Structure 1
């Protein structure tokens, strides 16, 4: 199996959700949730004493870590439950992971973590349900947790809401992911440690500026008239991280985080207000293929690079297959996830790949070379420059990978900035499309 294929496209936000990684930065922000955490800590300490699991009192710092960990586990479980995520939360229990120093790991994710989790999962505690990872080869390698009956009771009894929870600033905003092991299906890429360089320090400084600017922005969300179910979120969740890939700081680099990225498109269109005005989403069109043409030193010959006449009715599917071809390191031997159903059963992936290559002979040799990560770096550099330029012009902008949300009055200026920035970085003309509020 080609291990680049399942992750070779960025899936639409409306597609199915999977298990989420444990967020050890969450904490109880209101008196209501703080009381739930205090009660849990007291019960857990009593349980330890009753079972003889601990005979000596912890040192002050160790007790602080214990309290912080309990707070983080309960808060993330409550947030996940209230946000109505489809999957569960997965955590790592390996001492090999938790016992080593890392710039990424928060204090709540220490060697003490498995003990605390097991304690909270005991039947008499019932704060957590956990499904511990199986050592059997081929089975999932992360432990899955979900709220236990006691925690669900506390949520209901106290009427806990998303606003009762918050998130500490993440310690590291510049994240480096290593190359996936293509021989290991379950390898998720993981995080890679690194030493700071002038480049990483510049990336962090730029992102710190952007995060401070967005933290102070006038943002409002009006959910009146939005259909159920609605995405649950905290408007205080604004901190962005920049994630680089392939063990390189010139690969990937997209921005992740911020409550607006978790919203559905219709929710953003209808409910989000920036600086007292309706938010408008401006997207770079066909960004991957256009950047690829720039890499090849050619001008895109067509206005719509995803229009393959034979498959015209399946343009969204062609877009996904084409972007998978840009990201994949080997020729696709199966349809990317979610696209098989978009083509007639008689169509084979090889035929679609050949049709795309025939439509784009100038960049044919640039497909299936893993250049999507390089293209994403160019795209992410453009986005950083767009955000900093708009900040200097007094325009608040919220990034969503290759798009920005801006006030409606700033559409014209923002389009000009985006197009100018695209041309200078990609060396070809770009396109910007507008997705505005719809009554």
Structure 2
């Protein structure tokens, strides 16, 4: 997928082998890494001159962009290698993206980016290894890059570690995704440009407040005694962004980012400490279904909304199918992805859908209307409210979509805050479960 489009494609259950998007905000911050970048720039300029690739000296602004781009590429490759992420870093070479002004793109990610990348990948220089995507019409146009032998050697010589690298302040934390073209298999959704409004400015101000708070939080991670494999991450990666969907700021809005979202559940629960205490996860229960009841102006049915007669052993499947029914715009005629295995071989999707509708007669006319994105916006607004309320109480909380991680001693007050926020936004009572 294109780099710009990929910005919003992360989740809290990423495939461990997935290549990671290029971070154009990374830069060399120590003498050691500045020396590596400076040497690379000099070698590239000399190579251009010897090879006759440039006839005239660049303008000052163009040279500054050149230097920033080399710095960003090499710094992100060094960081990727030091953190030991699996796979490589994917970038785009698409002129359509790189040549267009966008609020989502950093200055180093410009139309000269592919040319600089090719220079760094010259065998004579050896700073970058790149696997350029085949030019298949309509297909993904990602190029994957890895550190080359020269860069790895310079890192060894300089004894470089992650403290030698830093990030410039990111540009856009309020991200808007356009409507996905369902007729185009290769369409990843992409990002939508937008003009700021009082609402987007408020969302950004809230995120700035939260991000500054989390950047200074006392977070520690000890993988000792945890079974492998261990997730690769940088504990300084704490910046959140809100991703809105369907080209509307009343759709989606979940917060993505933060190293804790990359961790497996057992890693979060056993290895993560907040303010010196064990991290405990509090989750909203049956969140999508309860919000749908609130949207329809009804009180939720008593008991477990996903527990149904005839499907007592298939609660996980009912939960996933019901969620799909809330998001779907037409009646389900097949089991959603990865749900067939959660039911008996004799179960039919039509029967499951009818059983869910019978269990929830007050909202059965709300299914298959595409209301899921709106429900998710309410969910995300609840989480923002929870974070800001906990911040005001001096309690560090790390969001994971419909859940938060807090210090073990703060479970009771956090649960109270979560239930209050849920009722205020969803207009029905919520439930919160504590997972230790």
| TM-score of the superposed pair, with normalisation by structure 1 | 0.89
Name whichever of 309-318 and 278-287 sits farther off: 309-318
**Cα offsets for 1:111-166 (capped at 9, x unmatched):** 11111112222333333333334343353233333333444555566565444433
Who is 1:3 aligned against? none
Q: CA deviation at 1:276?
A: 2.4
Unaligned runs of 5+ in 1: 1-8
Maintained 8 Å contact 2:12/2:262: no
State the distance in 1 between where 2:62 and 2:15 align. Answer: 42
Who is 1:322 aligned against? 322
How many residue pairs get aligned? The number is 428
Question: Within 5 A, what are the aligned runs for 1:223-238?
Answer: 223-238=223-238
Maintained 8 Å contact 2:83/2:234: no
Unaligned runs of 5+ in 2: 1-8
Who is 2:434 aligned against? 434
Maintained 8 Å contact 2:94/2:141: no
Question: Within 5 A, what are the aligned runs for 1:359-378?
Answer: 359-378=359-378
Who is 1:262 aligned against? 262
| TM-score of the superposed pair, with normalisation by structure 2 | 0.89
Change (3 A) 1:236 1:16: closer
Q: Does 1:73 align with 2:81?
A: no
Q: Does 1:283 align with 2:283?
A: yes
State the distance in 1 between where 2:321 and 2:11 align. Answer: 11
Who is 1:338 aligned against? 338
Change (3 A) 1:55 1:262: same
Name whichever of 147-156 and 385-394 sits farther off: 147-156
Who is 2:39 aligned against? 39
Q: CA deviation at 1:261?
A: 1.6
Name whichever of 270-279 and 102-111 sits farther off: 270-279
State the distance in 1 between where 2:195 and 2:312 align. Answer: 48
Maintained 8 Å contact 1:32/1:160: yes
State the distance in 1 between where 2:51 and 2:11 align. Answer: 48
Who is 1:411 aligned against? 411
State the distance in 2 between where 1:146 and 1:252 align. Answer: 33
State the distance in 1 between where 2:329 and 2:421 align. Answer: 28
Secondary structure of 1:365 counterpart: coil
Q: CA deviation at 1:284?
A: 0.8
Secondary structure of 1:124 counterpart: coil
Shift >6 Å, 4+ stretches: 9-12
Maintained 8 Å contact 1:162/1:233: no
Change (3 A) 1:83 1:312: farther
Who is 1:423 aligned against? 423
